[in-house]
Structure 1
């Protein structure tokens, strides 16, 4: 990920030299595609931001630089397309581009879904602080621009709107809705938020109160972002500890009833989540997407359980409401009940 961000920004060192910029851009876009495609929007954001600042503060749109950037980006992507055509990756089917007729509707669905899921996963504090920073930024740009105020306002909103959407990168034109899978596919908007913060702090205003306010709110937002990193790590550790402790307890119970011929256990859901995790997800909804709940009955949770307990259990989900008098209770604890029926084991987690 770090390498993909670096190579996406590196070409802009040569922004004033079109030849060096073009060559470096093609190579770096190709390298980015081979490292982490979720960074595919960063190059677009950098180009968009530099062109926006030139228009607002010099009054001219650098058409040559725009064309150069577009051609370089397409060139780097074309090289990567040739590579995956010759040697397709494992998940090549997920990267199919829809037809031109379906492309506008696909882009609209992806843009709406991408921004909506980020909004729903973000803490309300982040959203409020960022809105205040945006208001101060718009005020600063409009008041310091060489353009007419209404023109500067239109360009600023266009930059913010396009930047938010294009931060999704090349995933915007793909049929697969990657933003529904994991938050790592959405971090392009985080990069754009960082660019907005840099621009906001870089533009000074004659009114010192405005400068102080934007510094204070920017510092608060950065503090909350940093705090979230520690909260994420803490929750990850707590979830793992909770999983290991409860798995060991459940494993001790199941070990009495499992044998070589029957290692299948039907279970309504897996072990409970950490209380800290449950509390954190109410404040930071993104946590539930970053850290898998312990309750999931899945192959990876089964592998973790078997690694902890040294058993070879095959967990299968079942509906606990089907348990009736025909099920014989073998064991009961504060965490779960163990039943048997027709030589099958059933665990009902409480």
Structure 2
């Protein structure tokens, strides 16, 4: 009988000092732990040495989403006190699902203003959702790009310099509130070397939501509800994926977001043989016991305790192997989370 996992099975001790506060410079000089997903054997190298572990014919799948300036600071019109808004999903022009702080100032009907004398966004809270999020209406979406800031994760306490530090070098389609962080380690030079080694690449789009930073609260995994994230897959990408699978070549996902897109598409298509280009919303929740249909390997960072991303990573190998590797990572001063070091699981 299959083991039934609980949320606490994915807990581990992480010293505060292990949480990276700024990115590696250059990007591809962070540490890379290479993990054999079946045996648990480990290799410790630098990220730019990843080519030693990739083979001609491998297909690397990148998420080319781009983080947009989703964090807005403003004032509650009634109390004249400060408020903070994180835009999550655009429902239609001027209408957004958002997180707000503090909630008591952003009740149903609350009006707010963002900006300065020259540029102002006026808005109102139209709905309070059961999850605590809000649906807000604002009068000018175009000013988001002038007045908003990139929403760094809550555990990053320091400035990261230019906003480019929180974008991949291949970021293209705006819509994420968090970077697909496994991709932050790639430089243009490394991408060129990958092509020279005849490793195939393709780009998909999944706009990353706030779930990345949301620990699972319920001990029973079945009670956790994933938020949907918008994805796009081109016809050309679908053909490349099918060809790689039919040829028996490895498909390695750069990040958990690209992996979730791949598996979600396979799920709704009834297997990789039937996938085709399209768009949709992914709410797939991958936990140990899941049978992967497309992904053979994963490049990823080290994730939060009790997070859906740690559960997904464990599903590709095993919970024991992943948690043992995390212990080794702490002992060897690997850095964790968004700006941290990386793992290659193959």
Q: Into which bin does the TM-score normalised by the smaller protein fall?
A: under 0.3
Bigger relative contact order, structure 1 or 2, given CA contacts below 8 A and separation 6+? 2
Q: If you compute each CA radius of gyration, which structure gives the higher value, 1 or 2? A: 1
TM-score with structure 1 setting the length:
0.22
Greater strand share, structure number:
2
Greater helix share, structure number:
1
TM-score with structure 2 setting the length:
0.22
